[in-house]
Amino acid sequence: MSSRRWRESSRTNISEEQITQLLSTLRQLLPEIPHSHSHKASSAAKVLKQTCNYIKTLHREVDDLSDRLSQLLATIDADSAEAAIIRSLLI
Amino acid sequence: MASFTPNLEPAPDASLQFKPKKPRITLQTPSSCPSNQRTQRIKRWRTQRDQHIYSSKLFQALRRSRRTSASREVHETADRVLAGLARGTTRWSRAILTARKVTKHKKAKLPTNNRLRKPDIYRERRKTTAVERKLKVLGRLVPGCLKLSFSNLIEETSDYIAALEMQVRAMTAITEFLCGGTGGGPQPPADRLPSNVNS
Assigned domain for A29 exists = no
For A11-65, write each residue's pLDDT tens digit: 555 678 888 888 888 888 887 665 555 555 567 788 888 889 999 999 999 999 8
How many structural domains are present in chain A? Answer: 1
ipTM of model: 0.71
Spatial CA neighbour of A45 closest among B100, B138, B24:
B138
Tell me, rounded to whole angstroms, the distance of Cα A31 from its chain centroid.
9
Assigned domain for A5 exists = no
Residue B59 pLDDT = 82
Spatial CA neighbour of B149 closest among A50, A11, A27:
A11
Which residue out of B178, B179, B187 would a mutagenesis test of the A interface target, given it has the greatest number of A Cβ atoms within 10 Å? B178
In whole angstroms, give the CA distance from residue B126 to residue A53.
Answer: 25
- The verdict on A73 touching B (C-beta cutoff 8 Å) is yes
Assigned domain for A15 exists = no
Higher pLDDT, B81 or A7: B81
Assigned domain for A77 exists = yes
For residue B78, the chain A residues in CB contact (below 8 A) are 62, 66
Q: What is the mean pLDDT of each run of 10 residues along chain B (199 residues)?
A: 43 44 45 58 73 86 75 86 86 84 55 59 67 86 82 87 91 83 48 49
Rounded to whole angstroms, what are the CA distances from B195 to A75, A82, B188, B199? 28, 21, 13, 7
Per residue, the 3-state secondary structure of chain A, as one string, reads CCHHHHHHHHHHCCCHHHHHHHHHHHHHHCCCCCCCCCCCCCCHHHHHHHHHHHHHHHHHHHHHHHHHHHHHHHHHCCCHHHHHHHHHHHC
Contact call for A70 and B68, based on CB within 8 A: yes
pTM: 0.65
Assigned domain for A20 exists = no
Q: Closest approach of chain A CAs to the CA of B199, in angstroms?
A: 25
Domain range for residue A82?
A: 43-90
In whole angstroms, give the CA distance from residue B76 to residue B162.
Answer: 18
